[in-house]
Structure 1
Amino acid sequence: MSNTPLQTRLRQAVQGYYDALDRNDVDEVLSDFSGDVLYRRPGYDPIVGLKGLREYYTGSRKLAAGRHVLRAMVVEDNNVAAHGMWEGDLKDGGRTSMGFAAFFSFDSAGRITEHTTYFFTPAV
């Protein structure tokens, strides 16, 4: 099955987002999002807007230097589901690796309007 131009563009956008995160290029990361983005991740209140997202990436984010490795992406309409592994350092000095699943919704300009991430860790 071949990708449509939209599917290819959205896959590249998600990969570019993770590449910018891994370079700690917050300005590039933020350029991937719409101004009224809604970002959800376990352990944090929902983050709304670019200002809140900048504060998260430059302050409260617990991850330090690391690398995202995407294993699979599924694209449907303007939505992407991604699955992969993150490994790297924590801001508290520790080191970890964990699986994740992330879900993205895009607007017509190709910017992320919603992003939700889940982690593969023991919980219940």
Structure 2
Amino acid sequence: MSDSPKSRISCILGILLLFAATGSACADFSDGKLPDGTYHCEVYLLGLFLNLGDITIKGNVYTGPVTFGAAQQGYNYQMDANGVVTWLGPLGGYTAGGNSLSLTQATLDGETTPSFDIIMKQPDGAFTASTCTKAK
């Protein structure tokens, strides 16, 4: 490769264009949506990971969580600029039997798999956290 100023400038411009292209491909909270796909939800309890089902996201609609079979109905969700998700319908066991949702926080770091953490308040006042990670 030539060491002329013109070739150096071309090389630098190529690298900058590469960074610009990959930078815009990273997910963020600005569009108010989680990336489409199926998210596997688990909780770590007593030294074991327990499956809480899968939540499927498509646009601003979610279905699930589903452990067996297919989801019955889709519901809308919203996500604010800070990645806080508001579910606009039921969320299986997270919202059944006296349980309620405390917070859902999305993580959309471009270097890791998209995920969200669901904090559930149980009827006795205790809190349980689960993580839902996008399947590859």
Q: What range is the shorter-chain TM-score in? A: 0.3 to 0.5
What is the TM-score when the length of structure 2 is the normalising length? 0.36
Relative to total residues, which structure has the larger helix share, 1 or 2?
A: 1
What is the TM-score when the length of structure 1 is the normalising length? 0.38
